[in-house]
Structure 1
């Protein structure tokens, strides 16, 4: 069944990644998702703080699926006397992997400008201290593609402190099913849930329980998953990137099942049930414990919601950098949702 929706998932992923959406700058992605959800056949509701929710149907034991549509990014912190700009990161944007990235600046007066994040004194032939540690506070700056040479020149363009800066994602479908781009975290999770929603609607799938879907827009700054959870929800399952790296079993071709993150263990029964389904249906998976990882699911519990919690997602390597995964990991995530939430599991197959 996944093959029927693979093309749609990849098309949506590319479209989603092309829409700039650093945490807090979500109007365009929210409008796009609202239109797409309606095109599939559901009616989304909006949270006051930003974010979307809708219900796929089903009865009893309500669960909410969560993915986040926001990404890392930056904001203008200060315009220097020479017309260059200091940046402050949005979320965990790392100064060690953003140098030479092309960006777009969005002003509050509906203008956009192009530029590049560079090291101060960026010419290696003229800077014997080129190999210094990169830092947003000390030596990285945004250089505009405009003929400006002073703070006043930049202010005349309408640029102000706090304006959002979005990095070019450089999306690429490569060989052997590999997908490379910034912001696979977590737009691939959003694309998986859109594809799953489309599958449920078009195939008139009988769900084994009531299923909500939520797309948050503040996950990267750690308060995306707290508010707006329907009162009847008893379980939350995040669909976010799985980690791939040293001392982890995850890979770019597997679905990851998260046993714990920075805040501690996820629900034991949920993790066990998900792993059992992977074993039963031959889904390639890994169970891992993460450090340096916090999800909307965890923030939902921290906010006081009395729910069970779990998290799955495709394995992604080089997270918060130029990320990479494989379509096989998206397929495994889709199939695990299918096994966990539909009546096909009770009938013996997916």
Structure 2
């Protein structure tokens, strides 16, 4: 799981620019003997046959991340960008990035305030960090709009942030985009366990890798045989929240409302039975792939769990225990007898 997670974190995948990372996952699934199908909008679906027919359990995680897109090229060669996903501008100031052109080239850059130097601008410290006051400096010959266009950079090109991944010997993992690549790694850990142990779940399982969660419509469509969905996404940490970076977060309610009572109860009971460190929390400013599925009209039960992640949508951190514990709770859930 950790090896796969590192490769995922090193592969740029802002929402709408996920073709390379989906190919990586398609190849990884094939190594395990599974075929990953693609939906028209680019989501991936892997099916694990169950011992009995009937409705399937869906497990979703999203591989798309926060990022940006070229909004315009300024006369001085700086790029004005538009955000992809909901993050605060101060969390990316000073960040290195890649600009991906339509013809396959990429250029390095740095995100800066338009008043980047305290030696030049007396109000540099107080300058509001908002979209109009931010820009990207390109690390190439790019002092004019014409020079930037000569590089092949155009309006609408995608921009990805440097993940700055560190996996420490003591188990801590710090990186951008643990939301939600840590959960994708957990799902593939489950997949590897199923194959290695030769296990067959009581009911069919569909793993869904979504590519537009950060912009709100990741799993707005679900295959019609799915009757329940567990969105596997990061658990937030902060004031009045009890989740830690070693826990599985079980979300009782988010901005889309409360999650299914019976699924929640089963997940909590299984976590207790298996002695899996966990916490139940409420996230009023959070939405998930399960939220998108319910709003999209899916007639399903839904739940939300995931590894605890600190500083979400910023410089995130989790622990390998949380990734392992998330996979363990999912395995316990899908292997539970149907009548349990």
1:244 and 1:345, CA in 2 relative to 1: closer, same or farther beyond 3 A? Answer: farther
Matched, 1:205 2:199: yes
Q: Quote the residue 1:26 is aligned against.
A: 18
What SS is found at the alignment partner of 1:35? helix
Cα deviations by residue, 1:117-166 (Å, 9 ceiling, x for unpaired):
01123122222111125434331110000122111111111111111010
Find the counterpart in structure 2 of residue 328 from structure 1: 321
CA distance in 1, matches of 2:32, 2:131: 45
1:115 is matched with which residue?
A: 109
- Number of the residue aligned with 1:276: 269
In 1, distance between residues paired with 2:338 and 2:260?
21
Q: CA RMSD in A?
A: 1.6
Q: Are positions 1:254 and 2:221 aligned together?
A: no
Match of 1:288 among 281, 294, 306: 281
Matches within 5 A, 1:1-350: 9-58=1-50, 59=52, 60-227=54-221, 229-343=222-336
Closer, same or farther in 2 for the Cα pair 1:188/1:121, shift >3 Å? same
> Equivalent residue of 1:234, what SS?
strand
Quick check: 1:70–1:220 contact (8 Å CA) kept in 2?
A: yes
Given that residues 87 and 136 in structure 1 are in contact (C-alpha distance below 8 angstroms), is that contact kept between their aligned partners in structure 2? no
Quote the Cα distance in structure 2 between the aligned partners of 1:132 and 1:337. Answer: 46
Please, which moves more after superposition, 162-171 or 134-143? Answer: 134-143
Per the TM alignment, residue 93 of structure 1 is displaced from its structure 2 partner at its CA by: 2.9
Q: How many matched pairs?
A: 338
Secondary structure, aligned partner of 2:60 = strand
User: What is the rounded CA distance, in whole Å, between the counterparts of 2:293 and 2:182 in structure 1?
Assistant: 21
Question: What's the CA shift for 1:340?
Answer: 0.8
Q: Judging changes above 3 Å, is the alpha-carbon distance between structure 1 residues 164 and 136 closer, same or farther for their aligned structure 2 residues?
A: farther
Q: Is the 8 A contact 1:74 1:93 kept in 2?
A: no
Q: TM-score, normalized by length of structure 2?
A: 0.96
Could you list the per-position Cα deviations for residues 51-87 of structure 1 after superposition, in whole angstroms to 9, with x for gaps in the alignment? 1001112134410100001000000111101000111
Equivalents in 1 of 2:240, 2:219: separation in Å? Answer: 28
Is contact 1:86-1:136 (8 Å) kept? no
Q: Do the aligned partners of 2:89 and 2:131 also contact (CA within 8 Å) in 1?
A: no
Contact 1:206–1:343 (Cα < 8 Å) also in 2: no
Structure 1, unpaired ranges of 5+: 1-8
SS at match of 2:141: coil
